[in-house]
Amino acid sequence: MTDSTNFLANVPIFSDLDKETLEKVLKSGMLQSYKKNSVVLSEEEAGSALFVIVEGKLKVSRSSGDEKEVILAMLNESDFFGEMSLLDGDARSATVTAIEDSKLFVIQRTEFLDLLMKYPEVSIALLTELTKRFRASSAKIKALSLKDAEGKVATVMLQLADDIGKIRQGIVEIDHLPYQQELANMAGTSRETISRTLHSFAKKGLIELDGSRLRIIDYEKFKEMFE
Ligand code: CMP
C-alpha cells in the first residue's frame, strides 16, 4: 500500500479489512481538505456522504435560534461522522466544524452501504462505535439533569479523555484542551464555572493544568468519583 492508503487501516470501522479490500475502499471515496473554522456539514441540511478524519480535529455541535451552542463531541484522526443521515435518510442531526485544518476521506451513501453489506466486520465496528456514542450521550443527559457543576465539568473531562486523551500508566493527558467557552458549551454551564471548577479540581490534586494541556492524575479514581 502507498502511504496515502495507510490511514484507512487505522480507522476502527475499517481496521479488520485486508489490504486488497482497503485499496477498494480507498477507490470508493475521495480526499477533501477543510480550513480551520470551515463548516463541513450543517444541522438540518440533507446529506448523503460519510466522512472519515485523516488529519485534524472537528467539533460536533447543535445550536438554538438565539445562537447558543452545545458541543456534543470532539472528533479527531480516525473518527468518522455523517453516518446518521446516510443510514436513516433524515436531515443532518448536528453541525460539524473543523477546529483545525483538516483532511477528510469522503464516501458516498451507495458505496458505504455496499461496504456494510459486503463486509459484516465493518457493520459490527460501526455498531460498536455508535453504541459508544450512545453511552456518552446518556452520560451527558445524566450529568445535565442530575449533577452539580463539579459533576458536569467532570463528565466533560471524561468525555474528552475518551475522545482525544492519551492514557499512560493510569494518567490521562489531553494535549489541546478546548477553550473554556467551548468547555462551557460542552458542559451546559458558564465559562466562569468551568474556570472555578478546574481550579478546584487542581487544588484537590485530581488534575494538573499547564496551558492548554490537562492531565487527569488517576483516571480510574476520577471515573469512580464522577461516573
Ligand atoms: P449526521 O446526522 O449525518 O450529521 C451530523 C453528524 O454528527 C452525525 O451524522 C454524526 O456522525 C455526528 N453526531 C451527531 N450527534 C453526535 C454525538 N452525540 N456524538 C458524536 N457524534 C455525533
Is 37 contained in some domain? yes
Contact yes or no for 24/18 (Cβ under 8 A): no
CA distance 8 to 15: 7
Please indicate, yes or no, whether residues 188 and 136 belong to a single structural domain of this protein.
no
CA distance 7 to 121: 18
Grid coordinates in use for 4? 496515502
Grid coordinates in use for 134? 450512545
Q: Does residue 83 have its Cβ closer than 6 Å to ligand 1?
A: yes
Q: From the CA of 59, how far away is ligand 1's center (Å)?
A: 10
Please indicate, yes or no, whether residues 155 and 84 belong to a single structural domain of this protein.
no
Contact yes or no for 105/30 (Cβ under 8 A): yes
Amino acid residing at 170: G
Residues of the chain with pLDDT > 70, as a percent, come to: 98
Give this prediction's pTM. 0.85
Q: From the CA of 79, how far away is ligand 1's center (Å)?
A: 11
Where does the pLDDT of residue 2 fall: very low under 50, low under 70, confident under 90, or very high at 90 and above?
very low
Q: Does residue 70 have its Cβ closer than 6 Å to ligand 1?
A: no
Please indicate, yes or no, whether residues 85 and 167 belong to a single structural domain of this protein.
no
Tell me the best of 133, 141, 155, 159 to mutate to test the pocket of ligand 1, counting ligand atoms within 8 Å of each CB and taking the most: 133
State pLDDT tens for residues 105-155: 999 999 999 999 999 999 999 999 999 999 988 988 888 888 899 999 999
Q: Does residue 137 have its Cβ closer than 6 Å to ligand 1?
A: yes
Q: What CATH number corresponds to the domain at position 33?
A: 2.60.120.10
Please indicate, yes or no, whether residues 171 and 72 belong to a single structural domain of this protein.
no
